[in-house]
Every structure is written in C-alpha cells, then in structure tokens.
Amino acid sequence: MSGVRVLVGTRKGAFVLTSDGKRERWDVSGPHFGGWEIYHVKGSSVDPNRLYASQSSAWFGQMIQRSNDAGKTWEPVGNKFVYDGVPGTHQWYDGTPHPWEFKRVWHLEPSLSDPDTVYAGVEDAALFCSTDGGQTWEELSGLRGHGSGARWQPGAGGMGLHTIVLDPSNPERIFIAISAAGVFRSDDGGKTWRPMNRGLRSEHIPDPNAEVGHCVHRIAMHASRPSVLFMQKHWDVMRSDDAGESWQEVSGNLPTDFGFPIDVHAHEPETIYVVPIKSDAEHYPPDGKLRVYRSRTGGNEWEPLTKGLPQSDCYVNVLRDAMAVDTLDSCGVYFGTTGGQVYASADAGDNWSPIVRDLPAVLSVEVQTLP
Amino acid sequence: MIRVALPTHLRTLAQVQGEVKLNVEGRATQRSVLDALEAKYPMLRGTIRDHVTQKRRPFLRFFACEQDLSHELPDAPLPDEVASGSEPYLVVGAVAGG
C-alpha cells in the first residue's frame, strides 16, 4: 500500500512522520540529532531510502548526516565547506563590504538521477555539490563569482542560498535563489550563471528594479512544466512563464502578499499554495488566523483554506522551506510552523489536521511518496 | 594516556560515553591532543577547530587543572597533570543559548 514519509527539520532536531496512503494515522520518529538545528532533511527521488540532513549548531558548526535506511540510522559525512579561491566580499547590512564566511547549510537538494550527487545551498550564499554521497564538497563557484556577488546583501535571517530547483527535463539547468540577491539560473550544470530577476520590484532597496538585491523567499516549479516558476518574494507573489527570464506579479486578492513558502499541487500545475504573513515587521498571520491560500489559476485569484486551521489567536510563522506536497492521487499538502505544529491536508488543502502539535520550531518540511 | 572530556553533543556525535582516552605521540600540547582526537574520531573534524584555520570555534573553551587554556598557543605544553593523565583536558561549550 502506498504511503508518505514527512521529513521535518526543527530548531532542536529532526523528526520523521510516516503514514499510509490515507494519511490519517501517523507514526512519529525522533528527535534525531536532538538539540541541534536541522535546517533541512531531504530524500533522493532515485533511492527513497537515501536521506540527507543538514545539522548545525552555533557551538559546533556544520554536520551533514546521511541515512541509507530511510532515517532509521544515520552516519555523519563530510562537513568541510570551503569557498573556492579567495572568497572576497559581499555587502553587509549597512552596505559596507563584508568577507564571505561559511555559517551553515540551509538546503540540500539531491540529484534527480544519482543518489550520491547532492547540492547544498549555504550561508553565506554559495552553492556546493557532492558527487560521493556527501563525503566531500566542492563549490560551484561560477555563481558567487559571476560578477554581482559583491552587491549581494543578507536578508534578516542571513545571506542564505535557500532554494535549489533542478529542471527534470534538462539536467544542465539549475535555478537557485538567495536572500537578498534574487534568482539565478545555470544552463550548463552550474558552471556559469545569470541573474533572473527582470520584473521583480522591491521598494526597500535603493533601485527597486535592480538586477540583483531582491529578497526572494522561495521559488517552486511543477515537474511537468519546468519553464513556469512561481515565487514568494519578501513582498509579492510572482510567476514566470519563460524559465525566469521575466516575472509578473500574481498577488491578486491575497490579504497580504508577504510570506515565505510557495508550492505547486502535484497534479495541477496551475494550482499553487502560499501562507500570507502580515508583514516583514510582524511575521505572523493577519488577524491571528492561520490561512493557506490556494490559487487554481496560477495566481491572481486566491481562496483561503481554513478548515482545521486555527482561526483565532494564532501568531506562528511558516518558514520558506516548511511546505511540501506529496504525489498521491489526492494531493497531500503539508506545512510546519514556528509553533511546532505540522499540519497535513490529504485533499489538496480543503481540510487540515495537525500530525503533531508540539515539536520545536519547524524549519523545514519535505515529503516522500512511497510505493 | 591523555583524558579528554567532551561536551554532550560531541560525545553523542562521536558515539562515546564518558571521557575519551588518547595516546599522544611526543609532547602533549593542545594541537597534538586535538589532532589525536580528530584522528580517532574523524566526525569531530570541524566541530572544535575550524577546518582551514585550525582556530578554536568561538563558542568553545579549553580548560585543564582549573586553568583557562583557550587563549594559549596551540603548541604550548599542556600541564604535567594532563600529560600524565591524572587530570582531564576539558572541551567546554559556552553556557549560552536556548
């Protein structure tokens, strides 16, 4: 019988939530790596038992953990992330030059074709790749060195490379996003990169239409249409129909277009989900109501999804990597909150219920659909 | 035999309980002890000292014999009591955070 495995990274460890295809009863395993920050856990689509986890601590730095048995056991692999060459400087919050310093891995993206190949998006922003199952890491330095790096600036949460999207139709094409620099695309497997931010407008930066400097929070793609991208920017929900060459705003009737995650329905490429947050100064839902908004038209027209979600006195946040979908016939949607709840909907968002309520603050949610 | 006391998270990472015991060739210094520790437990590389600079991570301190050794030169000899194994070399995490 089919099932799902939800991989949850939190401020104090990782959790693995499993269920059968009904997604009603859940088994909770964890905490794995208790007490450590787990920014991200993700499984290989080629070998679902192969998981990678980013484990970090202000005291002890970065670890990468690998599992070959779906999270039952783990082994630490390589944690040496060294920038290629002389790292140079990016902008600090006050605009002054600041040296590149490795802090942590925000996002791990396993290759679509090889379980031993995995990409790591790190803070300070750079893209690394391992081809030996995480034992050794090399920077794809064409990104940081393509020319605009000196103008990148950290967002409030740091200058993280937080999104890595691999094009399933073209193994040479990779999209990444950085706060606060924007979207970049490579068409040669990560050797060279171009900014992909035309159409983005950010009022809080000196040139609102700048080539780089935009605080992109998340981008998402449907596998069947890799030239269509959706974006939750700091403010504004955007879409691109030309693989990032240009962007149009699709915030439409959202109560606020600030937020962090965005994701796409597994079977309906024009159905997308966001979680509106009141503002960048407040980081909680408007009116104390936790609402997922769904558009079935690829943006602009949005409906609130509230059944099973708290509609009063709710002041949690949903972080950028904390939403995911499964690929079962009735698409499941999942998200985690900074209040430690992981909510699941087995009917594409119509109805929600918590899988768990009292985890540490959730940093990331990924889902594996199991045969 | 040199005894090293690690903080909880590093003991978990290295899958050890209690103190670690190390054979150190030559003079016992902070560098030689940490080199021996990382050779025996490779998963600890980068968690105590930076991979490249080999400097102590900022939130860690080194103590022995009621002395703070955090700012001593890495090649300075450790106290005789540490070298003889009568006192442990302590790797301590700063008491901070949530």
Evaluate if residue B98 carries a pLDDT over 60: no
Distance between CA A56 and CA A54 in Å, rounded?
7
Q: What is the pLDDT of residue A131?
A: 98
Burial class (CB in 10 A: 0-12, 13-18, 19+), A58: middle
Q: What is the pLDDT of residue A119?
A: 98
Establish if B70 touches chain A: CB-CB under 8 angstroms.
no
Q: What is the pLDDT of residue A262?
A: 98
Q: What is the mean pLDDT of residues A43-66?
A: 97
Distance between CA B19 and CA B38 in Å, rounded?
15
Residue A368 lies in a domain: no
Mean pLDDT rounded to a whole number for chain B: 95
Q: What is the mean pLDDT of residues A98-110?
A: 97
Helix (H) or strand (E) holding A15: strand A13-20
B-chain residue closest to A77, CA distance? B43
Read off the tokens for B69. 């050794």
Q: What is the mean pLDDT of residues B26-33?
A: 96
Q: What is the pLDDT of residue A50?
A: 98
Which tens digits make up the pLDDT trace of A272-322?
A: 999 999 999 999 999 999 999 999 999 999 999 999 999 999 999 999 999
| B97 min Cα distance to partner chain A (Å) | 9
Instruction: Answer for the pair A45, A112: CB distance below 8 angstroms, yes or no.
Output: yes
Establish if B49 touches chain A: CB-CB under 8 angstroms.
no
Q: Please report the residues numbered 54 through 73 in chain A whose beta carbons come closer than 8 angstroms to any beta carbon of chain B.
A: 57-63
Evaluate if residue A114 carries a pLDDT over 90: yes
Residue A295 CB contacts under 8 Å (≥ 6 apart), including other chains: A250, A252, A270, A271, A272, A301, A302, A303
Which tens digits make up the pLDDT trace of B57-86?
A: 999 999 999 999 999 999 999 999 999 999
Evaluate if residue A79 carries a pLDDT over 70: yes
Q: What is the mean pLDDT of residues A40-59?
A: 97
Establish if A78 touches chain B: CB-CB under 8 angstroms.
no
Which region among A177-181, A321-325, B94-98 has the lowest average model confidence (pLDDT)?
B94-98
Distance between CA A195 and CA A80 in Å, rounded?
27
Beta strands in chain B (DSSP E): 2-5, 20-22, 60-64, 67-68, 89-93
Residue A110 lies in a domain: yes
Q: What is the pLDDT of residue A104?
A: 98
Q: What is the pLDDT of residue A252?
A: 98
* Other beta carbons less than 10 A from residue B33's beta carbon: 24
**pLDDT band at residue B96 under the 50/70/90 scheme:** low
| A332 min Cα distance to partner chain B (Å) | 33
Evaluate if residue B10 carries a pLDDT over 80: yes
Q: Which residues of B touch A79 (CB under 8 A)?
A: 45-47, 51
Residue A279 CB contacts under 8 Å (≥ 6 apart), including other chains: A256, A258
Establish if B21 touches chain A: CB-CB under 8 angstroms.
no
β-strands B89-93, B2-5 pairing: parallel
Evaluate if residue A90 carries a pLDDT over 80: yes
Q: Which of A162, A147, A171, A269 is nearest to A217 (CA)?
A: A162
Across the interface, whether the CB atoms of A59 and B93 are under 8 A apart is answered: yes
Q: What is the pLDDT of residue B97?
A: 53
Establish if B7 touches chain A: CB-CB under 8 angstroms.
yes
Establish if A99 touches chain B: CB-CB under 8 angstroms.
no
Considering its fold, how many domains does chain A have in total? 1
Range of the domain at A61: 34-331
Evaluate if residue A153 carries a pLDDT over 80: yes
Mean pLDDT rounded to a whole number for chain A: 97
Give this complex's ipTM. Answer: 0.94
Distance between CA A238 and CA A298 in Å, rounded?
10
Instruction: Answer for the pair A56, A29: CB distance below 8 angstroms, yes or no.
Output: no
Q: Cis before residue A31, ω within 30 degrees of 0? A: yes
Q: What is the pLDDT of residue B94?
A: 85
Q: Which listed CATH number (3.40.50.1820, 1.20.1560.10, 3.40.50.970, 3.10.20.30) goes with B2-93?
A: 3.10.20.30
Which residue do the tokens 């839902």 mark?
Answer: A285
pTM above 0.90, yes or no: yes
Q: Which of A13, A113, A19, A28 is nearest to A63 (CA)?
A: A13
Task: Count CB pairs under 8 A between chains A and B.
Answer: 41
Across the interface, whether the CB atoms of B51 and A80 are under 8 A apart is answered: yes
**From the list A60, A80, A82, which residue is nearest B57 (CB)?**
A60
Share of chain A above pLDDT 90, in %: 96
Q: Please report the residues numbered 26 through 45 in chain B whose beta carbons come closer than 8 angstroms to any beta carbon of chain A.
A: 43, 45
Instruction: Answer for the pair A323, A333: CB distance below 8 angstroms, yes or no.
Output: yes
Which tens digits make up the pLDDT trace of A329-348?
A: 999 999 999 999 999 999 99
| B15 min Cα distance to partner chain A (Å) | 11
Across the interface, whether the CB atoms of A61 and B47 are under 8 A apart is answered: yes
Evaluate if residue B95 carries a pLDDT over 80: no
Residue A265 lies in a domain: yes
Burial class (CB in 10 A: 0-12, 13-18, 19+), A312: exposed
Q: What is the pLDDT of residue A1?
A: 60
Q: What is the pLDDT of residue A293?
A: 98
Establish if B59 touches chain A: CB-CB under 8 angstroms.
yes
Instruction: Answer for the pair B7, A59: CB distance below 8 angstroms, yes or no.
Output: yes
Sequence spans of domains, chain B? 2-93
Establish if A79 touches chain B: CB-CB under 8 angstroms.
yes
